[in-house]
Amino acid sequence: MAGGLLGIESLERTEIESILDRAKSFQPQQSASRKSDLLRGRMIVNLFFEASTRTRTSFEIAAKRLGADAISITASGSSVTKGESLVDTLNTLGAMRPDAIVMRHAASGAPHFLARYLPTPIINAGDGTHEHPTQALLDARTILDRRSTLEGLKVAIIGDIAHSRVARSNLFLLSKFGSRIVLCGPASLVPPELAQLAAGVTIAHRIEEAIREADVIMMLRVQLERQHEAAFSANEYFQFYGLRLEHMSLASPDAIVMHPGPINRGREISSEVADSQRSVILNQVENGISVRMAVLERILSN
């Protein structure tokens, strides 16, 4: 990871374990101090070409808690709006000598493309429908806060699988640890070829089948902005694929409910479930900071 973090697929299991273990030590309940100077004097640029609240903010907080300086640039506030190419934008930033660039872009493969041009380490904060590696890492950390292992867990990932970089990164990570993954959603939103990406992946089109005896239920946002035409109305989608309180009796007694956010209540999940004791959605947000601290430290510390 010396050259950055572009995806989960290329990481070894031992690298993932190292990040997750280090992230645990950065959790508020484990750390006596909220701030350190591990990355004092380092500068991190957050370059976001897509809207983001959780990821961008948590990278900013993570950098500052490690003593680094963090600068955030959005597409609307950059020279991209004046016609500057992506390569020229990154070359300009590279000339300013940041120690790392955290990048989110709508095009799949954009961080990989730029990593070939710049010597600066690039951290992928989400590229198109490809990957979102730090989200998968924080999801794994959140699961491990409640389970001793990822081995043998049944994980149901439900929703807009086709457009979800979160689903792909979680699929790659969880399969490396022996989890059994069920992808569930409307046939138009669950490409059958995704089952071939990793071992232990199956597909279901009924939510009841997917969550039966599941240990982890991971709901996904319906990404209307990536769809040419919505196949379902909000009410129709919620009727067939929205997680409701009555579904929880089908899952394992201690099953947890996750969502990467932002949540569309009444479309993907009911408020009764999102706000229940089974929900670890806010824990995911909290773990976003500790995981991103671990990633930044691993990439930038001497």
Distance CA 282, CA 214 (A): 20
Per-residue pLDDT of the chain (302 residues; tens, 9 = 90+): 667 999 999 999 999 999 999 999 999 887 666 788 999 999 999 999 888 889 999 999 999 999 999 998 876 655 555 566 777 877 787 788 999 999 999 999 999 988 988 889 999 999 999 999 999 999 999 999 999 999 999 999 999 999 999 999 999 999 999 999 999 999 999 999 998 988 889 999 999 999 999 999 999 998 765 554 556 777 889 999 999 999 999 999 999 999 999 999 999 999 999 999 999 999 999 999 999 999 999 999 86
Using CA atoms of 285, 287, 290, 291 in order, give the dihedral in degrees to the nearest 10. -100
User: Do you find a cis peptide bond into 262, omega within 30 degrees of 0?
Assistant: yes
Distance CA 50, CA 286 (A): 22
CA distances (Å), origin 120, targets 44, 59, 85, 101? 10, 17, 18, 7
Active site residue 163: no
What phi and psi values does residue 17 have, to the nearest 5 degrees? -60, -40
Distance CA 21, CA 35 (A): 18
Q: Which of 24, 42, 56, 104 is catalytic?
A: 104
Exposed/middle/buried for residue 71 (C-beta within 10 Å: 0-12, 13-18, 19+)? middle
Q: Which residues contact 236 (CB under 8 A, 6 or more apart)?
A: none
Distance CA 64, CA 49 (A): 22
Active site residue 82: yes
Q: Which of 55, 120, 129, 142 is catalytic?
A: 55
Strands 122-127 and 4-5: parallel
Using CA atoms of 223, 228, 234, 235 in order, give the dihedral in degrees to the nearest 10. -140
Active site residue 180: no
pLDDT at site 76: 64
Q: Which of 82, 97, 116, 228 is catalytic?
A: 82
Q: Which of 24, 56, 65, 132 is catalytic?
A: 132
Domain ranges for the chain, please list them.
4-131+285-300, 146-279
Residues 176/13, Cβ–Cβ less than 8 Å: yes
Equal CATH topology for 4-131+285-300 and 146-279: yes
CATH number for region 146-279: 3.40.50.1370
Tens of pLDDT, residues 114-155: 898 888 999 999 999 999 999 999 999 999 999 999 999 999
pLDDT at site 34: 73
Top-level class of domain 4-131+285-300: alpha beta
CA distances (Å), origin 112, targets 18, 93, 177, 296? 23, 16, 25, 18
pLDDT at site 117: 84
Rounded-to-5 percentages of helix, strand, coil across the chain:
40, 15, 40
Active site residue 132: yes
Distance CA 233, CA 155 (A): 26
Q: Which of 54, 112, 147, 212 is catalytic?
A: 54
Active site residue 97: no
pLDDT at site 162: 93
